[in-house]
A and B are shown apart, each in its own frame.
Chain A
Amino acid sequence: NAGVMQNPRHLVRRRGQEARLRCSPMKGHSHVYWYRQLPEEGLKFMVYLQKENIIDESGMPKERFSAEFPKEGPSILRIQQVVRGDSAAYFCASSLLIGSTDTQYFGPGTRLTVL
């Protein structure tokens, strides 16, 4: 059973471009979480999704950021018109049950650098 997959592992974008981060949860997991981590910081919750539904996006900036988890395919975190402050590591995690009561399995992360 493959773990949580994220790609790309590293992404470089210029200011104003779009960044697309992909996350494939573990097989059988329908709960996906996205987090952002700045250097020397903990993980900040961004969004919680189930298949075709955004359950909680309270941690996601209202503008430029969006997330989806379609019926088929990976979950996508999309950042439009990136700015330097978006540079960070973005992790996704999946769980079998709701992640607040269950183990979350993390992917290796995507490191976004905005030039």
Chain B
Amino acid sequence: SQQGEEDPQALSIQEGENATMNCSYKTSINNLQWYRQNSGRGLVHLILIRSNEREKHSGRLRVTLDTSKKSSSLLITASRAADTASYFCATDRDDKIIFGKGTRLHILP
């Protein structure tokens, strides 16, 4: 069963702009992860944020976590064409992670 749900389902922005994607989940978590998937490829891990963390950075990526609202956001700053991909959040449940349906991000030239 699905745990995380990304919003929006699809997002198109101009190159250079910032992209924000959100993830909401239902049950309590120990950590939340974000992954990227380029068309026709496997997933690539971006960031893991633990439940006792509120914000984490990695290069142009910034992830926030609000456990009281059961939500997380992924911000990509200064977007590039290469950022065009689907982005998934994944939350832990027992010994596995459960993925949402993803946000399809398209960077326009």
> Which residues of A line the B interface, CB within 8 A?
4, 33, 35, 40-45, 48, 55-56, 59, 91, 93, 98-109
A46 vs B101: C-alpha distance when bound (angstroms): 16
Name the prevailing secondary structure of the B interface residues. Answer: strand
Across the interface, A108 reaches (CB within 8 A) one of B41, B92, B96, B99, namely B41
Q: B42 at interface (Cβ–Cβ under 8 A)?
A: yes
Q: Would A100 and B93 count as touching, CB distance under 8 A?
A: yes
Find chain A residues with CB under 8 A from B88 CB: 42-43
Find chain A residues with CB under 8 A from B45 CB: 103-105
The number of inter-chain residue pairs (CB within 8 angstroms) is 63
A71 vs B4: C-alpha distance when bound (angstroms): 34
Across the interface, B99 reaches (CB within 8 A) one of A4, A43, A101, A102, namely A43
- The size of the chain B interface, using a CB distance under 8 A, is 23
Known contacts A41-B102, A99-B97; can you find 4 more A-B pairs with CB under 8 A?
A: A100-B30, A100-B96, A106-B42, A108-B41
Q: Would A42 and B99 count as touching, CB distance under 8 A?
A: yes
Q: List 28 A-B contacts (CB under 8 A).
A: A33-B96, A40-B101, A42-B88, A42-B100, A42-B101, A42-B102, A43-B99, A44-B99, A45-B96, A45-B98, A45-B99, A48-B95, A56-B95, A56-B96, A93-B42, A93-B43, A99-B96, A100-B31, A100-B96, A101-B31, A102-B48, A103-B48, A105-B45, A106-B35, A106-B42, A106-B43, A108-B42, A109-B42
Q: If the complex has contacts A42-B88, A100-B96, are A109 and B41 also in contact, measured as CB distance less than 8 A? A: yes
- CB B23 to nearest CB in A, in angstroms, measures 11
Find chain A residues with CB under 8 A from B43 CB: 43, 91, 93, 104, 106
- CB A107 to nearest CB in B, in angstroms, measures 5
A42 vs B102: C-alpha distance when bound (angstroms): 6
Interface string of B6-41 (1 = CB under 8 A from A): 000000000000000000000000110101000001
Find chain B residues with CB under 8 A from A98 CB: 95
